Amino acid sequence: MRKWIGYLLGAGIAAGTAGGAFSLFCNKKLKNSRKTYSLEEIGEIPQSDFIIVPGCLVHPDGTPSYALEDRLTAALALYEEKKADKIIVSGIAKENQTGRNYLLRHGVAEEDILKDDGGLDTYSTIYRCRDAFLGKQFLICTQEKYFKRTGFLISELGMDGFCVKADARRYQREYYERFRDFFAADKAWLECKVTKPKPKYSLKDLPISY
């Protein structure tokens, strides 16, 4: 019995070591070759066709988390500066409805807000928006810690897009989110270099709509 426990323990350690090494490899390979921007340099941000707000946590009472609120606030600033005429909220339906309501309350015209309920992760968001609006340019409002992974996906999927920093505060779970994103690099690298999946929902089955 002890012998088997030793084998299992050794196998577990080996698997954990291999997994950690693979995550390090993926993080090293993920590079953002695209220029990034902050709102402090809004004058330098290129005129684009769409602003994308990736989905994020919504509280049970329907209010956006600080991270989502900051993404929406950044999108508002870009919209008000006429950096793009349309805003796409992309995530699960609840996140998108919350984002849409927030933008409407802050003066964005209803016809300027689109919902991408099929953007279940960053890969799907970029893939679907790219295919829905071929040849268009996008500004993606997200936190700086996600720039490397998001920029990598933008480049690998062939989107004409840039990341815009949406950090307006320090976040309570900052270290956890950075740890989580470290391992999300595995998924991003595998999707772009190995599996190359199509999003769960096609644009035909679930179009990006107003």
CATH number at 152 reads 3.40.50.620
Check whether 202 has a pLDDT greater than 60. yes
pLDDT > 70 in the chain, percent: 88
- The residues pairing with 163 across neighbouring beta strands, listed in sequence order, are 36, 140
Q: Can you tell me the mean pLDDT for 167-178?
A: 82
Domain-located, residue 184? yes
Q: Would you give the distance in Å from CA 2 to the centre of its chain?
A: 46
Whether 111 maps to a domain, the answer reads yes
Which domain covers residue 114, as residue numbers?
31-195
**DSSP symbols for 36-72:** EE-GGGGGGSPP-SEEEEE---B-TTSPBPHHHHHHH
Residue 201 DSSP class: S
pLDDT over 90, % of the chain? 75
H/E element holding 76?
Answer: helix 66-80
Mind listing the pLDDT tens digit for each residue in 53-95? 999 999 999 999 999 999 999 999 999 999 999 999 999 999 9
Residue 205 domain-assigned? no
Query: CB of 180 within 8 A of CB of 97?
Result: no
Is 23 a member of any domain? Answer: no
Total domains present in the chain: 1
Average pLDDT over residues 178-200: 89
20 occurs within a structural domain:
no
**For residue 88, what is the enclosing H or E element?**
strand 86-90
Q: Is residue 68 part of a domain?
A: yes
Q: What DSSP line would sit under 115-169, residue for residue?
A: EETT--SHHHHHHHHHHHTTT-EEEEEE-GGGHHHHHHHHHHTT-EEEEEE---S
> In the block, which residue shows the tokens 């644009």?
203
- The mean pLDDT of 14-23, rounded to a whole number, is 61
200 domain residue, yes or no: no
Q: Examine residue 201 and state whether it is found in any structural domain, yes or no.
A: no
Which is it for strands 137-142 and 160-165: parallel, antiparallel or unpaired? parallel
